[in-house]
Amino acid sequence: MRTTRILKPGVLVTIEVKPDEKLHFIIGSVSDDYRILTCELITEEPRSIDLNKGDKVILVCLSEDGVFRFLAQVQEIKQDPVNLTLALSREASHLQRRKFFRLSEPLVRARYRQITDPVDIYNDELKEAAVKNLSGNGTALVIPVEDELAVGTPVRVEMDVAGQNINLIGEVIRCTSNEPINGMSLLCIQFSLIEERDRDRIIGHLFKEQIKRAGRRSRPYRSI
């Protein structure tokens, strides 16, 4: 199946307008040959964006098969609200989801435990920790300064992601004292042992939460 066929009306996508500017859109219509699509910005702001006909943008779409990146050219732009008509290149590049999505302060609960013995992997005595940020590749937990762990320390992490319990093993890659506030530390953990389906669940949840934060609006779309 051609990768362009994952682009359908109602699908949420991220468009990289500039290297440091990513906006969330919803697809309104797609031509029969999957070369032209219309999409609308799903947030109330901005009411206009700095794009012109002929400009190149990058469209990113999450699907069950991964994250795909399409090169596109602006065919038409309408402001307030922002609507785009894009011409897509036929080829798409596949991105590693773990590297693409990272969300600050996600709605995820976490518990952790230092592993000093193989038995610790099964021990239910874990410490609660606030999640500062999360991606498919790692997380940063906010912990008391007195609970700091050394770089390289293996840890067991348990997360409640959208009602699903995820267990994984990670390794401390950094621990920053008095961050984000005095008396607390930021414990940065890289996932080293995680089921790919659990990684996908994390990424899917982050994507949905990111879109939900953006504030979806519903508008009628014109057909091509």
What pLDDT shows up at residue 221?
A: 42
What pLDDT shows up at residue 63?
A: 66
The CATH number given to 3-95 is: 2.30.110.70
What pLDDT shows up at residue 23?
A: 86
Residues of the chain with CATH 2.30.110.70: 3-95
Residues of the chain with CATH 2.40.10.220: 102-207
What pLDDT shows up at residue 44?
A: 77
- The whole-number mean pLDDT for each consecutive block of 10 residues of the chain, a chain of 224 residues, reads 73 83 88 92 86 93 73 94 91 61 86 89 91 92 95 94 92 91 93 87 83 59 42
Radius of gyration of the chain (CA): 20
What pLDDT shows up at residue 223?
A: 42
**Per-position DSSP letters for the chain, written without gaps between them:** --GGGG--TT-EEEEEEETTEEEEEEEEEE-TTSSEEEEEE-SS--S--S--TT-EEEEEEEETTEEEEEEEEEEEEETTTTEEEEEEEEEEEEE-HHHH-EEES-S-EEEEEE-SSGGGGT----EEEEEEEEESSEEEEEEEGGG---TT-EEEEEEEETTEEEEEEEEEEEEEET-SSTTEEEEEEEEEE--HHHHHHHHHHHHHHHHHHH----------
Q: Which CATH class is domain 102-207?
A: mainly beta
